[in-house]
Chains A and B, each alone.
Chain A
Amino acid sequence: MDVEQEHTTATTPALEMHGVVFGYEPGRPVLHISDFRVEPSHRVFLFGPSGSGKTTLLGLITGVLRPQSGTCKVLGKDLTNLSASAMDEYRGSEMGYIFQSFNLIPYLSVRENIELPCRVHSRRKERIVSASLDAEAVRIARRLEMDSFLDRDVRKLSAGQQQRVAIARAVIGRPKLVIADEPTSSLDADRRERFLELLFEVCEEANATLIFVSHDRSLAARFDQQISIAEISDTVGLPEA
């Protein structure tokens, strides 16, 4: 795994999918992607109506779901050959994930939530730029204008604050791929703008590719690449399981 990692260059595509077929039940494919490619360090806006298979696609990219056929390469590594635990390890080390809502573990403090990926994966911890993990959490929190509530109970944060903590957790330890699944749908318009700005800034600083899923087309213009799920999948419209 380490050897392959070193071969990843600035030109290795962040994501390559070829002939990927996936269905929750045999014989009823939900997604059929003949060719899909994301360039490194790009900001990709992925849109489509609900039920079009966006979340399924993210499941395939993160390796939580496995395609029935085809290849899915993330950062140059073919996920279809990885064992379940190697996949978990790879996801934790190389990807940051932001959910639509409920991003935080309720019984941990803000700081502990942010530090969690580095505590679980040594590779994430090795890539921090500050001298200590605590200092890194403070640095990122400051960057995201949230150092004032670093030690607050996460259940007392507003939706906007929670989503910023989610960004911090997704980018700490510089993963190469950040995936955000409708992260702005719980935010009002002003906060949505600010959220997007901060997300772009920290992804750029971490040199990470961003895959941003949303049905809100008004945000699309600010991305490098806009992709409709209907463009890449032949079987759009089948209900998601």
Chain B
Amino acid sequence: MTLPLLAYKSLHSRSVTTALTIFSIALSVFLLAGVDRVRQGMQTGFEGTLSHVDLLVGARAGSLPLLLYSVFHIGTGANDISYASYEHFRDHPAVKWTIPFSLGDSYRGYRVVATDDNFYDHYQYRGGQSIRLEQGVRAEGIFDAVLGSDVAKSLGLTMGQKLILTHGIEGSFLEHKENPYTVVGILAPTSTPVDHAIYITLYGEEAMHIGWEHGAPPLEPVPAAQIRKEDLHPTQISAFLLATKSRISTLRLQREIDEYKQEPLTAVIPAVALEDLWSVLNYADVALSLVSAAVLVVGLLAMLTAIYTALNERRHEMAILRSIGLHRRQIFGLFVLESAFVSAAGVILGISALYLVLLAGHGVIEQRFGIPLALVGLSARVEVYIVIIIFAGACLGLLPGIRAYRNALTDGLTSR
């Protein structure tokens, strides 16, 4: 009878304690790997806020403020860039398409983004998903507005409703009362900042600000009926996204934009900037991981306690094993094998449970929280955890092993 079989049968005979111990380790593994999975999902989701975009271009500023303002709609932009500069790069031979963004107005706390058809045609997130209209049509008319799904949901807005936009972002009392906008479309949820904004046309934004050249409402507003698209010429935008015809030209184009003589501009590679931003936000993950690690330590200690308390009942067993000539190494080995079995079983159970939960719940989690918990293999981090848990479990078996051996020495061959 080999030692593994002895260890297995011994554990099996104490099935309730063994099952409880395995369960407590499985629970900690579940938490640890689950937190890791959620972190990965969040990171994937976050870094997938923009995809297939090679450069983000705005006025000369740091890459993070530019990203936060123009993509996440957080904070205020430094400066606008001239429409002429935008046109220059829009028509650049290396450029495939551009999406202009002009920000500056809001509606009940949600940012209003003026853009054009390219937004609906080219904006992609999470590796190639395009934005989609759930209801209605794109904003084409001067006073048309399309709502992000979250805006529609939380403000309870429906198709055809009129919106009076606020001039400026927060805490502003100046309203564009003279020109209400009409909801013509609502976007499908994307779980990205797109959901939290209202989209109008660049013309619309121009029209709204006729007579506002000094930052205050005009004394004699121009009636909406008299405003015609042909008379409106955007002069400034906040930023634009850009895709190159060939990825190889990205870096060259980035330098060209950074060194553009007519106007100080900044071009940022979104993937790099998103990664930078994520590393700033990542501290929450450290806290979560610490908590799960603490749970794991508790689980392993529970196993140690279980094996240790069984020691006294097992003194006869140890005396018998010594009498048939088991070495001290083999007595150690028995305990190490037992704890290694328990931790390995705990790991297998915990990981399987996690996969079952992900399999059953990833759709719901993705929809409700916008975390894409893709069903891929174990991340390298979880693999490291698994090795550490099984190794630590086996090492913990040494403690009762030493104790059992000491007992065996003092007991000699008395089986009483």
Contact = CB atoms under 8 A, between A and B. Distances in A.
Interface of A: 55-56, 58-59, 62, 64-65, 84-85, 88-93, 97, 99-108, 112, 115-117, 119-121, 169, 181
Main secondary structure on B side of the interface with A? helix
A181 B320 CA distance: 13
Interface in B1-37: 1-2, 6, 9-10, 12-13
B325 to A, nearest CB: 2
B1 A116 contact: yes
Contacts of A88: 322, 325-328
A100 B325 contact: no
Interface in B377-416: 409, 412-416
A85 B331 CA distance: 12
A100 B324 CA distance: 15
Nearest to B409: A64
A62 B321 CA distance: 13
Contacts of B326: 88, 92, 120
Contacts of B327: 84-85, 88-89
Contacts of B368: none
A91 B324 CA distance: 7
A90 B326 CA distance: 10
Interface string B294-319: 00000000000000000000001101
Nearest to B321: A105
Nearest to B1: A119
A58 B319 CA distance: 13
5 contacts: A62-B323, A97-B323, A102-B416, A119-B2, A121-B324
A105 B414 CA distance: 14
A64 B413 contact: yes
A100 B316 CA distance: 11
A97 B326 CA distance: 13
B329 interface: yes
A119 B324 CA distance: 10
B327 to A, nearest CB: 5
A62 B413 contact: yes
B1 A115 contact: yes
Nearest to B9: A107
A62 B415 CA distance: 14
B12 A107 contact: yes
B175 to A, nearest CB: 81
Given A107-B9, A119-B1, A181 B324 contact: no
B415 A117 contact: no
A55 B9 CA distance: 30
Contacts of B321: 105
